[in-house]
Amino acid sequence: MEKINQARGRALIHLYLKVTFGILDFKSREKLITDKGYDAGIDAYYIDTESKNIYFIQSKFRTNKDNFESKEISPDELLKMDIDRIVDGETHDEDGNEYNGKIKQLLRELSQVDDIGRYNYKVIILANLKSLKPSQIRRLTNGFPAYIFDNEKVYKDLLFPVITGTYYNNNLLSISLNLTNKNSSSARISYNVETEFKDCDITVVFVPTEEIGRVLYTYKNSILKYNPRCFLEMKAKSVNKEIHNTITQKSTNEFALFNNGITMLSDETSVNERIGQKDKAQIVISNPQIINGGQTAFTLSRIYEEIQKGAENGDIFENKEVLLKIITFGEHSANSETKKRSLIESISKATNRQNEVSDADRRSNDKIQIDLQELLFHKFGYYYERKKGEFADGIKDKYISRNQIIDRELLLRLAICCDMHPAVARRSSGKFLFQESNFTKYLNDSERVTEYFYAFNIYQSINNLEKSLREDVNDRFGTSAYGQAIRYGRFAVTAVCVKTLYKGPESLNEIDQHLKSVIGRWIEFENSAQENAKNSSYFRTYKDEDTGVLKQDLNYEGYYKGRTIQDDLKKYFEIK
């Protein structure tokens, strides 16, 4: 068990290195882990040559749930970090003990950094530490700034990104430009637009298609946060053959004529046409996000991947460019994240209108969707799939299982049940429900997240009950005990449980009891429905003309989609 716990502790450090610095290769991360005897109190390190930062990592893994959430790292553990001795080039601790080989490796790498005077030192603490003030922590780390990843931050900033494939999140993107066919004055067009943010600029430039392919291949979902689709959803669709063929089957630059281009968001954009290379320039984009042209970028990334694997010639991108429109939000946008997100949503919906994007995809970045995803994960550890396929990486790598994912269409139907409209939830198509007027009518309050999660658990319990009955070939839906509750009435049963038994978070511990108490009365409910004259179009008793025997025509499938069931449920179960 001790070895398992040690492996899990090491895995936490690997998680931090992978998510924060985008180090995908296990062996490359393992080289940075120093955790063993005489390690100067440093468990891992990373030298970031782009940001000019050197990170010293101290991790304290807890072996059970309660300790992981609450137990803090001790001040003594922080005092063991000999960061000041390491940066001074010392090879032994104060007691004269020689540091281990990994720490010596760190010392060698530090000595080889040419401009180390420009670097900043940062301490990362992967542990809970809420009892100390920042000033006290800084004193314990010899004056170096410390950044705490407690249990909540680990879940939110490390675990969730690696499951959604958004972990590679370098906030500065550099794209090389080819100036061969451009003079310096026409390399780009810049235009200022007056919006809610007074310093919103548009930059339009042609960039090499290879650069766009490289960007999406590297960043994947992390650069598609505001796009209606995620990387793997695009992958599930067929590669755009016209885009693919224009690149792979033509040696000239028709692509620049045929393609509408890509729209990217930026917090800051700069272009440098004097980078020491002839006919080359560089554009640097801060916090890049592709909101339109995702399918173009994805197809280029697939071609780029084929080149990396040797399946395509490395020169097929040569002299082929694509139009890139960069919308830059200046410093004012940081003061109002809500207004900024609202404007981004409007731009995304407007620029994606000419493409075939479903309403469900178009709604994926609505604020209510983002809020529900965060709340369902933070409160209950479940993953709300607002974009199709966004958790496919997590499933593939076995970080999570499918039963931890909540489908967006199912949640919308359950929200409708919570408003006591089970027939609407059952009969309506997903396309209809995600139309803006319907979507905003039924899913508009993230504060009801616990109620929605309760409904989800009731619905899942009904599904589990059905699975337990499948072995009985003569009664696989449990009709003899529960009527048509399981076969046709799942949304109706869920609605009744919510309206009669849900009392808040404590109800989540009583799912099975609540379902049992409601579904146990279902045959009586259906008998009362059959006797209601208003349901004559669904339930009809007639005499067989040949035999004279009374027969019943029971259309429960239509009844549970019909317009009378809501009133029947309210009357029988005394719902106000």
DSSP assignment letter at 158 = I
Q: Do 143 and 190 belong together in one domain?
A: no
Q: State the DSSP H helix or E strand holding residue 489, giving kind and residue range, or none if neither.
A: none
DSSP assignment letter at 145 = -
145 band by pLDDT with thresholds 50, 70 and 90:
very high
Mean pLDDT, rounded, for 431-448: 94
278 band by pLDDT with thresholds 50, 70 and 90:
low
List, in sequence order, the alpha helices (H) in 237-386. 241-248, 255-258, 294-308, 337-351, 359-362, 367-380
Q: Do 333 and 456 belong together in one domain?
A: no
Residue closest to 192 by CA, chosen among 182, 202, 181, 178: 202
Mean pLDDT, rounded, for 375-379: 95
Mean pLDDT, rounded, for 294-317: 88
Mean pLDDT, rounded, for 429-445: 94
Take residue 98 and report the two structure tokens written for it: 């020689």
Q: Is 479 helix (H, G, I), strand (E, B) or coil?
A: helix
Give the pLDDT score at 355.
Answer: 53
Torsion of CA 425, 431, 435, 437, to 10 degrees: -30
- CB of 92 closer than 8 Å to CB of 98: yes
Give the pLDDT score at 351.
Answer: 65
Lowest mean pLDDT among 26-30, 117-121, 136-140: 136-140
Query: Domain of 415?
Result: 392-572
Lowest mean pLDDT among 104-108, 238-242, 367-371: 238-242
Q: Do 121 and 197 belong together in one domain?
A: no
Structural domain includes residue 93: yes
Give the pLDDT score at 14.
Answer: 95
Mean pLDDT, rounded, for 125-134: 90
Q: What is the edge-to-edge ordering of all strands in the sheet holding 146-148?
A: 44-48, 53-59, 120-126, 146-148
Residue with tokens 């003030």: 133
Structural domain includes residue 379: no
Q: Is 286 helix (H, G, I), strand (E, B) or coil?
A: strand
Indicate if the pLDDT at residue 4 is higher than 60: yes
Lowest mean pLDDT among 62-66, 155-159, 480-484: 62-66
Q: State the DSSP H helix or E strand holding residue 440, giving kind and residue range, or none if neither.
A: helix 436-442
State the Cα–Cα distance between residues 394 and 397, nearest whole angstrom.
Answer: 5
Give the pLDDT score at 181.
Answer: 61
Lowest mean pLDDT among 75-89, 410-424, 514-528: 75-89
Structural domain includes residue 376: no
State the Cα–Cα distance between residues 396 and 385, nearest whole angstrom.
Answer: 15
153 band by pLDDT with thresholds 50, 70 and 90:
very high
Q: Do 142 and 37 belong together in one domain?
A: yes
Last residue of a domain, one of 86, 116, 149: 149
DSSP assignment letter at 99 = P
38 band by pLDDT with thresholds 50, 70 and 90:
very high
Give the pLDDT score at 356.
Answer: 59
pLDDT tens, position by position, 475-521: 889 999 999 999 999 999 999 999 999 999 999 999 999 999 999 99
Give the pLDDT score at 576.
Answer: 85
Q: Do 334 and 225 belong together in one domain?
A: yes
Residue closest to 539 by CA, chosen among 521, 562, 518: 562
State the Cα–Cα distance between residues 301 and 133, nearest whole angstrom.
Answer: 46
Structural domain includes residue 319: yes
Take residue 574 and report the two structure tokens written for it: 């005394």
Q: Do 185 and 85 belong together in one domain?
A: no
Mean pLDDT, rounded, for 71-77: 88
Structural domain includes residue 363: no
Give the pLDDT score at 239.
Answer: 58
pLDDT tens, position by position, 208-266: 999 999 988 888 888 888 888 787 666 656 557 788 888 888 888 888 888 889 999 98
Structural domain includes residue 384: no
Q: Do 516 and 555 belong together in one domain?
A: yes
Residue closest to 49 by CA, chosen among 101, 119, 112: 119
Give the pLDDT score at 199.
Answer: 66
Last residue of a domain, one of 307, 329, 356: 356
Mean pLDDT, rounded, for 381-399: 88
Q: Do 417 and 321 belong together in one domain?
A: no
State the Cα–Cα distance between residues 312 and 198, nearest whole angstrom.
Answer: 46
Structural domain includes residue 365: no
Q: State the DSSP H helix or E strand holding residue 531, giving kind and residue range, or none if neither.
A: helix 522-531
Residue with tokens 């235009």: 191
Cα angle for residues 364, 368, 369 (degrees, 5° grid): 35
Indicate if the pLDDT at residue 13 is higher than 60: yes
Q: How many domains does the chain have?
A: 3
Residues in contact with 323: Cβ distance below 8 Å, sequence separation at least 6, in sequence order: 204, 205, 206, 256, 259, 260, 261, 262
- CB of 570 closer than 8 Å to CB of 432: no
- CB of 57 closer than 8 Å to CB of 43: yes
CB half-sphere exposure, 140, CA atoms < 13 A: 22
Residues in contact with 332: Cβ distance below 8 Å, sequence separation at least 6, in sequence order: 197, 198, 199
pLDDT tens, position by position, 524-568: 999 999 999 999 999 987 777 677 676 778 999 999 999 999 999
Q: Do 116 and 223 belong together in one domain?
A: no
Give the pLDDT score at 184.
Answer: 47
Q: Do 121 and 62 belong together in one domain?
A: yes
State the Cα–Cα distance between residues 403 and 463, nearest whole angstrom.
Answer: 12
Q: Is 154 helix (H, G, I), strand (E, B) or coil?
A: helix
The rounded mean pLDDT for the chain is: 87
DSSP assignment letter at 297 = H
State the Cα–Cα distance between residues 359 and 364, nearest whole angstrom.
Answer: 9
Structural domain includes residue 369: no
Residue with tokens 């032994």: 92
Give the pLDDT score at 185.
Answer: 47
Give the pLDDT score at 482.
Answer: 96
Give the pLDDT score at 125.
Answer: 95
CA 229 to chain centre: 11
Last residue of a domain, one of 356, 376, 406: 356
Take residue 449 and report the two structure tokens written for it: 């997240």
Give the pLDDT score at 474.
Answer: 86
Burial environment of residue 273 by CB neighbours within 10 A (0 to 12, 13 to 18, 19 or more): middle
Take residue 537 and report the two structure tokens written for it: 């179009």
State the DSSP string of 210-255: HHHHHHHHHHGGGG-TTSSS-HHHHHHSPP-HHHHHHHHS-SS-TH
State the Cα–Cα distance between residues 287 and 226, nearest whole angstrom.
Answer: 12
The length of the chain, given as a count of residues: 576
Residue closest to 292 by CA, chosen among 226, 214, 247: 226
Q: Do 135 and 178 belong together in one domain?
A: no
State the Cα–Cα distance between residues 14 and 5, nearest whole angstrom.
Answer: 14
Q: Do 91 and 205 belong together in one domain?
A: no
